Amino acid sequence: MRCENAVINQILDAYKPMWSLNHAISLMGWDFETYMPTRGTEERGLANSQLHMLHKDLLLNKDFVGLVESAKKLGSLSDLERGIVRVLDREITKQIKIPKELTEAESLERIRGNMAWRQAREKSVFMMYAPHLKKMIEIKKQIAEKIGYEKHPYDALLDTFEEELTVNDLDKVFGALTPRIQKILKKLIDSGSPYCKEGKLGKKYDIQKVDELNHAILTLLQYNMERFRMDVSTHPFTEAMGLNDVRITTRYEGTDFKKSISSTIHEAGHALYNLQCDQSLSVTPVEGGSSLALHESQSRFWENIVGRSLPFVQLIAPLIRKQVSFANQATDDELYLYFNNVKADYIRVDADEVTYNLHIAIRYEIEKKIFGDELSVSEIPEFWNDRTEQLLGVRPTKDSQGVLQDTHWSSGLFGYFPTYTLGNLVSAIIASRMRKDLEGYEEDIKRGNFNPIREWLRLKIHQQGSVYAPKVLLNNTFNEGYNPDYFMTYIETKYLGS
Ligand SMILES: [Zn+2]
């Protein structure tokens, strides 16, 4: 792309090698999770860290930093140009502030910690992993100090995943959200709601057949296989090499087919954000999504608000009956309740729409306490179990059901979890606005006409890439922030009919 401004054009030219390294790193990451032979791990690790170092050298090159600095001083930048400068300036500032030794210590601990975590989880013994968690927290505390913050050290880490997100924002979000969800959950359980009754569809399925089913759903959702593909991995993810090579994976545990379908639709929602970004932003720092929370709002919108709606279940019900032998007699309503079963349980990744954010609330509370020096590593497992019992009414009986269930901390991802909840909140804001703009969009879903929805998302969110910071985008497009009211209304209406 060419901009009005000569300095910005110089920046974009100099950015091309960095973009290319990102392209290669992404492709290597995708390959690592899908098809790489297991013995390739070490070589891949080396190649990966070398490419990252090359990227850092290019980013912090004096001439490049000088260009970005001079662009910052220009008064007459367009929104797009300002977006390019903002994204690069953020990246440069963080990289400069964090000393090389800390970056190295973190990447080393990430590998060691992750290995220790895997073994500890398998044996369900937290103490095997605790020394690594302690080390990672020490590194992260130092990083937070180097980055700097105004009020809470955790703010520095939150901002690395979600631009300008603070403890202040999240205290408001969870303060409003948690008690309301608890109340709904109690009502559902106490009233013996049909949503809480487990059906008989969570059985062993034929993986090949469900794979065909997932591909048929992607066809219904109009995915263009010339720019997109789907493979299989243990933990589903989306990887965008650029705007025209976006890949997702899904999972097949072999039982409970809704997990596989939901993962497919979730990741396809992420992919659409990249696929519908304006092509003029290709090979620039602003291609792709505005933030993790905005990205998650897209995946959750498709997975939950569309994918778990009655019209959508009605649309795919004939495909399910065809591909899943034991579901061939299931009614639309039975399938709908199967996809929307509410169960207070220990494991976050399997949680339903109602309870999901309670899991995040627990992680948020713990992370905030860790970085506020209010909770030591040895106190975490019990605190985790206590809070799970208080919020969800079930107490993990072993560490693998509690503190050891998620990979995030072992990979140094402190501050990441809250973006999942923010994504849920934004997905409900989107649904509420879409309902006003696209009258009868539920009818469109039932008929399999997804064009109006896709086009609405493209115009309101996708096409802008990361030109605007998430808070600015939310304000510009919806005149809103991370407001939990829409999500609560959505949940209350759907599950309590009020
Ligand atoms: Zn996601």
What spacing in Å lies between the alpha carbon of 64 and ligand 1's midpoint? 33
User: What whole-number percentage of the chain has pLDDT above 70?
Assistant: 100
Chain segment 96-126, per-residue pLDDT in tens: 999 989 988 898 888 889 889 999 999 999 9
Q: What is the mean pLDDT of the chain?
A: 96
In the predicted model, is pLDDT for residue 301 greater than 90? Answer: yes
What spacing in Å lies between the alpha carbon of 290 and ligand 1's midpoint? 14
In the predicted model, is pLDDT for residue 39 greater than 90? Answer: no
Write down the catalytic residue from 81, 163, 267, 287: 267
Residue 360 near residue 231 (C-beta atoms within 8 A):
no
What spacing in Å lies between the alpha carbon of 418 and ligand 1's midpoint? 12
Chain segment 364-416, per-residue pLDDT in tens: 999 999 999 999 999 999 999 999 999 999 999 999 999 999 999 999 999 99
Q: Report DSSP state, residue 77.
A: -
pLDDT at 100: 85
What spacing in Å lies between the alpha carbon of 322 and ligand 1's midpoint? 28
Q: Please compute the mean of the pLDDT values over residues 431-441 and round it to a whole number.
A: 93
What spacing in Å lies between the alpha carbon of 348 and ligand 1's midpoint? 13
pLDDT at 498: 66
pLDDT at 103: 87
Q: Is 62 exposed, middle or buried (0-12, 13-18, 19+ CB in 10 A)?
A: exposed
What spacing in Å lies between the alpha carbon of 192 and ligand 1's midpoint? 31
What spacing in Å lies between the alpha carbon of 5 and ligand 1's midpoint? 36
What spacing in Å lies between the alpha carbon of 198 and ligand 1's midpoint? 25
pLDDT at 116: 94
Interior/surface letters 130-143, b for 16+ CB within 10 angstroms, e for the rest: bebbebbbebbbbb
pLDDT at 290: 95
What spacing in Å lies between the alpha carbon of 298 and ligand 1's midpoint? 8
Strand partners for 230: 248
What spacing in Å lies between the alpha carbon of 481 and ligand 1's midpoint? 20
pLDDT at 21: 97
What spacing in Å lies between the alpha carbon of 271 and ligand 1's midpoint? 10
Chain segment 258-269, per-residue pLDDT in tens: 999 999 999 999
What spacing in Å lies between the alpha carbon of 172 and ligand 1's midpoint? 23
pLDDT at 234: 87
Residue 311 CB neighbours (<10 A)? 17
* Alpha-carbon distance values, 87 to 118, 154, 243, 489 (Å): 34, 21, 18, 34
Sequential DSSP letters for 215-278: HHHHHHTT--TTSEEEEE-SS--EEESSSS-EEEEE---SB-HHHHHHHHHHHHHHHHHHHTS-
Q: Where are the alpha helices (DSSP H) in 276-354?
A: 292-300, 310-323, 332-339
State the Cα–Cα distance between residues 181 and 178, nearest whole angstrom.
5
State the Cα–Cα distance between residues 306 and 130, nearest whole angstrom.
40
> Which among 236, 227, 286 is positioned nearest to 260, based on CA atoms?
236
**Residues in CB range of 380: below 8 A, 6 or more apart:** 126, 133, 366, 370, 403
The question of whether 42 is a catalytic residue gets the answer no
Which is it for strands 238-240 and 246-250: parallel, antiparallel or unpaired? antiparallel
State the Cα–Cα distance between residues 280 and 168, nearest whole angstrom.
36
Q: Please compute the mean of the pLDDT values over residues 160-170 and round it to a whole number.
A: 97
Chain segment 325-357, per-residue pLDDT in tens: 999 999 999 999 999 999 999 999 999 999 999
Q: Interior CA angle at 257 toward 214 and 306, to 5°?
A: 60
What spacing in Å lies between the alpha carbon of 441 and ligand 1's midpoint? 24
In the predicted model, is pLDDT for residue 65 greater than 70? Answer: yes
Chain segment 453-485, per-residue pLDDT in tens: 999 999 999 999 999 999 999 999 999 999 999
pLDDT at 48: 86
In the predicted model, is pLDDT for residue 166 greater than 70? Answer: yes
Q: Please compute the mean of the pLDDT values over residues 13-40 and round it to a whole number.
A: 94
User: What whole-number percentage of the chain has pLDDT above 90?
Assistant: 90
